[in-house]
Structure 1
Amino acid sequence: MSLKKSFFLIVVILLIDQVSKVYVKTHFMLHESVAIFSWFKIYFIENDGMAWGTKLSDFTTFISDRSAKVILTLFRVVAIFGIGYWLYDATKKQGSKILIIAIALIFAGALGNIIDSVFYGVLFDDSISQVATFLPETGGYDTLLYGRVVDMLYFPLIEVDLPQWVPFYGGKRFNFFEPVFNVADMAISTGFIMLIVFNKKAFSKRTDI
């Protein structure tokens, strides 16, 4: 698979990711949701940390949330250059199609979330109790590097009230699948799953491109 084809795949994923995020950001208030099916909802939340809403400052006591946010964003920026070089090197060495597609998916997903983290703070105003505006006259909700990642895909496949006899969680509401994510997250996860499941094929050299 050529670098040109992998670049096309990256552009397509980025467009879908960013269009979906901008649409949700400019049409939904924070925590607003719309049920598409009983098992699928568009549920708008924002994440300023790592996966599942975790923050770097959750693991340290000497780093503030804002400092941790900058560190995480800068780490992501550096990492994207490394992934980009990996993709270039894989195509140059005629790596397997599975490997190149997987790296392209990871690159596109990482770049999609980096765009949110770096720019969304200055491109949009806040979404709390209002629908955000793109390029508001009064300025964005924060500065560069302090943007929050937009998540909206929610799949509550199972929602039940657990019986009282269940240890520790009896009487509580159980949701599966509870995390809310976006297209970029899907691309990253798919890329990593491909590398794990098709490990031997991914890292075997192929002669056809």
Structure 2
Amino acid sequence: MKASYYKPFLLALLVIVADQAIKTWVRMHMYQSEEIHFLGDRGMLHYTENNGMAFGMELGGDWGKLTLTLFRIAAVAAIGYGIVYLVKHKYHRGLVMNGALIFAGAMGNIIDSTFYGILFQKDALGKSLGLFHGRVVDMFYFPLVSGNFPTWFPVWGGEDFVFFRPVFNLADASISVGVILILIFQNHYFKQEKPEEAEPHSEMVED
């Protein structure tokens, strides 16, 4: 592998290892729904597991779970190929590194959903969840603002709200940071060089 490939995949490896280390610590030292507050009521570890996508979103049923896991695997393969393509064609380094963050986040959650079901997790009857049916471990929770919608507010009038409500993990954060940075700097990353126009010139004609 050429030296230019090392940095993005090294970054991805570091994120994956850190993500799995945090998840392992949480699984071994906390019980589900337990909370460890480190920013008072505005930031905490909240151990939860989910069957679905980033930030706790889900597809229903066993088939939904299997479909999502297989989709993740295909997506990671496509992203990995995309990173190799970007490096080979000398795209902006920032774009490559952000692609590596997305790759790492997707891979981190694939490890959970692919292997956790046979290594650690069981159903209510104590039976292994099986390959491709593992639950993703989440733990970071930052309910920064909470309150109630005013009664006149459409749809949610009178109901309580929390921002930021989703519980997430380092893999989710890695994907989000990569996507957000690409959106912010897309004009810089995908800037195309305009070919220089030939200056008009005239020829001197001698009589």
TM-score (norm. length: structure 2): 0.82
Which of 161, 173, 193 aligns to 1:186? It is: 173
Which of 74, 77, 89 aligns to 1:78? It is: 74
Q: Which moved more, 1:1-10 or 1:94-103?
A: 1-10
Which of 52, 56, 60 aligns to 2:59? It is: 56
Q: CA deviation at 1:55?
A: 2.9
Query: Quick one: distance in 2 between partners of 1:168 and 1:86?
Result: 42
Partner residue, 1:47: 50
Q: Does residue 185 of structure 2 align to residue 174 of structure 1? A: no
Partner SS state of residue 38, structure 2: strand
Q: Does residue 138 of structure 2 align to residue 151 of structure 1? A: yes
Q: CA deviation at 1:146?
A: 0.5
**What does 1:83-162 correspond to in 2, within 5 Å?**
83-126=79-122, 141-161=128-148
Query: Quick one: distance in 1 between partners of 2:106 and 2:144?
Result: 26
Query: Quick one: distance in 2 between partners of 1:195 and 1:45?
Result: 29
Q: CA deviation at 1:172?
A: 3.7
Query: Quick one: distance in 2 between partners of 1:158 and 1:83?
Result: 35
Give CA-to-partner distance per residue, 1:50-88, whole Å, 9 cap, x none: 23433333xxxxxxx111111111111111110000000
Q: Which has the larger radius of gyration?
A: 2
Q: CA deviation at 1:166?
A: 5.5
Letter of the structure 1 residue corresponding to residue 28 of structure 2: T
Q: CA deviation at 1:147?
A: 0.3
Query: Quick one: distance in 2 between partners of 1:93 and 1:167?
Result: 50
CA 1:85–1:76: 2 relative to 1, 3 Å: same
Letter of the structure 2 residue corresponding to residue 74 of structure 1: L
Moved over 6 A (4+): none
CA 1:47–1:157: 2 relative to 1, 3 Å: same
Q: CA deviation at 1:179?
A: 0.7
CA 1:39–1:127: 2 relative to 1, 3 Å: farther
Query: Quick one: distance in 2 between partners of 1:150 and 1:205?
Result: 41
Letter of the structure 2 residue corresponding to residue 15 of structure 1: V
CA RMSD of aligned residues (A): 2.4
Query: Quick one: distance in 2 between partners of 1:143 and 1:47?
Result: 15
Q: Which has the higher contact order (CA 8 A, sep 6+)?
A: 1
Give CA-to-partner distance per residue, 1:130-157, whole Å, 9 cap, x none: xxxxxxxxx8741110000111110010
CA 1:79–1:163: 2 relative to 1, 3 Å: closer
Letter of the structure 2 residue corresponding to residue 116 of structure 1: D
Question: Which consecutive unaligned segments of at least 5 residues does structure 1 have?
Answer: 58-64, 129-138
Asked whether the equivalents of residues 95 and 205 of structure 1 are also in contact (C-alpha less than 8 Å), the reply is no
Partner SS state of residue 181, structure 1: coil
**What does 1:191-202 correspond to in 2, within 5 Å?**
191-202=178-189
